[in-house]
Structure 1
Amino acid sequence: MIRPTRPPARRGAARLGAGILTLALVATGCGGGGETGAGSATGTVTSITALDYYTDTTEHAQWGASLAACGRTVGVTVEQTSVPGASLIPRVLQQASSRTLPDLLMLDNPDLQQIAQTGALTPLDRYGIDSSGFARGILSASTYDGKLYGLAPDVNTIALFYNKDMLARAGVAVPRTWAELKTAAARLTRPGRYGMAVDANATFEGTWQFLPFLWSNGGDEKALATPQAAQALQLWVDLVKSGSMSASVLNWTQSDVSDQFVAGRTAMMVNGPWRISDLNEAKGLHWGVAPIPVPQAGQTPVTPLGGEVWTVPQSASRARQEKAAKVLACLNDSTTMLALAREHFTVPSRSAVASRYAEQVPSMAAFVQSVEAARARTGELGVRWPQAATGIYTAIQSALTGEQTPEEALTHAQQIATSP
């Protein structure tokens, strides 16, 4: 399936120092023994393999350094292979059938359910890995059939970015509710500039951007043909019809939306923290970020959880699995996840670490706040999520073009979501 929410290459501001990575957790559980490791004449495991989709040169090097550092604490060399995102799942499924999976496997969190369903992954309780202190949505995204199969060192979600200068000149406060958003977007709109921008394209990325509006209004992907879902979609329709949001959002990616924001052609946008490094490099741009507006004052926005989880696949070698699990534990150590979050502009997955991080990096505070209530996309439907996601972005397209009313579009979306 099309990669729904994996952000573009995230270029962090700080370089990760390998020396600060520590392994605080010792894997226990399954006893291995007798299996030989790569490069070993004594039966010990000296190297393991890892597969991910970090093909961007900078990102590949950053994660390679993290894997290497954790490998050193465990006493193994980690041989990292990166493939394009669209190629990862086909490759994993092929390797699962041929029993040639890597020792350590990274997955975009919505894909974990599909791979765990095949029996290709081992549950992490087998290794005694500590999963305490993680936000609920993070554990949900990593769980299949009641068992935890992966952990994410850092995660992401989306929030509302705004141009401080434009809002100040227009006398507009940062919107907190849908009504305030519509008013603010209208007042900020003028020739050559829209008040608001989202990614509403016909991919899972468009669905991802719509989910906070759907979920925060009580909508649910299990039943899309509801008044709550229609009200959320009507909000986007109203923004386009009023001229506060460009009809071109039907074709924009999240990167396109960010480009519009940087160029001053939109005063507000929905986007993720992976855009922050680019925003920081834009001369003269004074921006802020806040939680996505909610239907009524006092509500907490419910946003989708993005990020990648690390897993330990099935293999013939228990010893290699245990070494891989120790590297996985190292990546999810509090010190490591804090360093990764600083590097990638992401949110540490342990809530206590995330709280400290928000104090240290104020631009990430809205994302830290939102992650606590964020939901896994597969939390309700599991492996059936892609069908619902397809129905949602199809409905968005139909409603924003005026082809169907939100109610009609969502009725069709429900048919797509429940089709055999």
Structure 2
Amino acid sequence: MSRTVRLPRTSRASAGPGTLAALTAAAALVLTACGTGTGTGSGGSGGGSDTLTEIDYYDAAPQNTQLPAILDECGKQVGVTIKHQQVPRAQFLPRLLQQASARSLPDLALVDNPDLQQLAATGGLVSLSKAGLSTAGLYPSIVQAGQYQGQTYGIAPGVNGLALYYNTDVFKAAGLTPPKTWDELTSDARKLTHGSRYGVAFSAVGTEEGAFQFEPFFWTAGADLKKLDSPQAEQALTLWQKLVSAGSASKSVVTWTQADVNDQFGAGNAAMMVNGPWQLPTLDANKKLHFGIVPIPVPNAAAKPVTPLGGETWTVGHSNAAREAKAVKVVKCLLGHDESAKWSKDAGYIPSNQQAAAQLAQSDPQMAAFVQEIGTAKARTTELGTGYPKVSQALADAIQAALAGGTSPASALSQAQRTAQN
């Protein structure tokens, strides 16, 4: 997921947001409506091996301002110039799928991790496993997020996730401590709802962004994306529906993106919110706001939060041996301890390297909860592979039906399961 999880994504991260299912359909239209092009001007990997092409979808600081400098540094180490290109998020995957069909992918692409398997399935990516890139020291879940059919095609320099932000002034005034369980979350949200302030805010928008926000509750309850209508899934959706129906969360959550949620929290209109570390620069700039961050509340004290991995993976497109070799060297540089730590710090991500992540948790208390959750986090494509986008959209639709349409969680999820199976 990118900084704003403009996804499905980060799930930025990814993080306006669009659905992966819609992007897949759009890609088919692009393939029939557009020329393929192979030059570097179209993002392809044509040309000599002294200049490499790179593409990403970052359109907001700090990523879009920090990444070019990091690319330049790694390019110098490898002895190449890297031509950087940024495209709108909604156009990103369709463009890559088009280029993959023509075998004209950029040398380097920073791909949202749930999109990785779909892109790898085209055969247009270089296997980083066969290229000799090591994943030693990285979180296993992060390595898994970049794999397709047993091969690693993408490696994330850093990831993001979701945690619970809370307004420390409001909690102190109410004599409350941050909630750890769903019961405590429900109780605190009710007590903290007053006037124009809601107890909690989250994004339930009808895209991957809403599904991304719901997945920590869905997975922590023990639900599985292969069976959307399980009792565990119903339990999680019932929690969200009760928060909205009780007035502890705004009915507008069905239209709020994660950026909107952050705005509500920053303005004092929500005592708590579910959001990611990419929001920290904006929140820290608000000197009137005092907040803390804790892991996502769980159904019971014995459970551990299972959050979705957000963020992007570095991939290498097939071209020729010389270009591929240099692109792999650039990726190796980007994944190095120092560069990944710098990238994570600048972008508000957690380093994929476990040692670097532990150091971050010690040096930056704001990131401690996010680092704590990475150990039990899950790649969104773990259960379904390339089938994830369709199921994710079905889940997002179920959330909308339950929160905005008045449908019972059981009925909404039953419909979602039928849609996912068709």
For the criterion TM > 0.5, the same-fold answer is yes
Query: How do 1:8-407 and structure 2 match up within 5 A?
Result: 45-56=49-60, 59-315=63-319, 317-401=320-404, 403-407=406-410
Unaligned runs of 5+ in 1: 11-36, 40-44
Residue type matched to 2:379 in 1? A
Distance 1:103 1:401 in 2: 44
Distance 1:125 1:239 in 2: 45
How far is 1:58 from its partner? 5.3
CA contact (8 A) 2:101 2:122 kept: no
Distance 2:148 2:126 in 1: 11
CA contact (8 A) 1:351 1:372 kept: no
TM-score (norm 1): 0.89
Residue type matched to 1:297 in 2? A
Q: Percent identity?
A: 47
CA contact (8 A) 2:113 2:312 kept: yes
Distance 2:263 2:14 in 1: 15
Q: Does the residue aligned with 1:150 lie in a helix, a strand or coil?
A: coil
Distance 2:229 2:155 in 1: 34
Q: What's the C-alpha RMSD, in Å, of the aligned pairs?
A: 1.6
Residue type matched to 1:210 in 2? F
How far is 1:401 from its partner? 2.7
CA contact (8 A) 1:9 1:59 kept: no
1:106-155 Cα deviation digits (max 9, x unpaired): 21111111110010111112221111111122111100011100101011
Q: 1:57 and 1:265, CA in 2 relative to 1: closer, same or farther beyond 3 A?
A: closer
TM-score (norm 2): 0.89
CA contact (8 A) 1:46 1:76 kept: yes
Residue type matched to 2:302 in 1? G
Distance 1:390 1:72 in 2: 42
Partner of 2:41: none
Question: Is the deviation greater in 272-281 or in 97-106?
Answer: 97-106
CA contact (8 A) 1:9 1:56 kept: no
Residue type matched to 2:70 in 1? S
How far is 1:226 from its partner? 0.9
Larger Rg computed on CA atoms:
1
